[in-house]
Amino acid sequence: MLSPIENERSEISSPEKLKLEEEPSDDESKFSNYDSDDWETLSDDLRLLDEEWGKSGGFDVDFSKVRHRFGRGAVHLDDDNMVSEPHETNRDLLNRLSNMAISFYNDKTGIKLELVKVLRANFHPSAAITLYITFEANDPSDGNQTKRYQAVVRYLSFDIEVCSCNPEPSSS
């Protein structure tokens, strides 16, 4: 018999449920000439992906440059693979996580940002799933201007941690 806490946790969406934007499990179905023993290709993919990831801190990555993503990918906003509630989308989850990031930012700065919309998100597996979310928010301290922000959030079904939330570097 499950304890009340275990029962509650079993109803929360789990990162294991994620049908993340990763290539098919059978790599050969996507890349017919791809040899899984081709260490040079894997090494090149890892180097390219690390370069792309490093340029933007994980926020703006061109996954089309690599054949293997090593567990990383883009979140499809209108899909429902990260959520367990009926009629809910990944965008709904990312809105909640973005609002948590805004609360984190507001507490840190004293500014009272208000979420406008989530623009995009990338992920990579860690002890949980680490999400790199880019969103727009209104800044009432600056004439209610809409600005872009980026947040790093670790998501586990029973634990969520906002690691950072800052203005997007190009919009500061």
Check whether 89 has a pLDDT greater than 60. Answer: yes
* Residue 16 located in a structural domain: no
Residues 90-108 pLDDT 10s: 999 999 999 999 999 999 9
As a whole number of angstroms, the distance between CA 81 and CA 89 comes to: 8
Q: Work out the percent of the chain whose per-residue pLDDT is above 90.
A: 45
* Residue 132 located in a structural domain: yes
What CATH number does residue 118 fall under? 3.10.450.10
* Residue 34 located in a structural domain: no
Structural domain of 123: 68-167
Check whether 140 has a pLDDT greater than 80. Answer: yes
* Residue 88 located in a structural domain: yes
Length of the chain: 172
For CA atoms 124, 134, 53, 69, give the dihedral sign.
positive
CA angle, 2 as apex, 92 and 19 as ends, to 5°?
A: 35
* Residue 10 located in a structural domain: no
As a whole number of angstroms, the distance between CA 164 and CA 29 comes to: 38
As a whole number of angstroms, the distance between CA 31 and CA 127 comes to: 30
Q: How many domains does the chain have?
A: 1
Check whether 3 has a pLDDT greater than 50. Answer: no
* Residue 75 located in a structural domain: yes
Q: What is the full DSSP assignment across 16-72?
A: GG---S---SSHHHH-TT--TT-HHHHHHHHHHHHHHHHHHTTSS--GGG-S--TT-
Phi, psi for residue 147 in degrees, rounded to 5: -130, 160
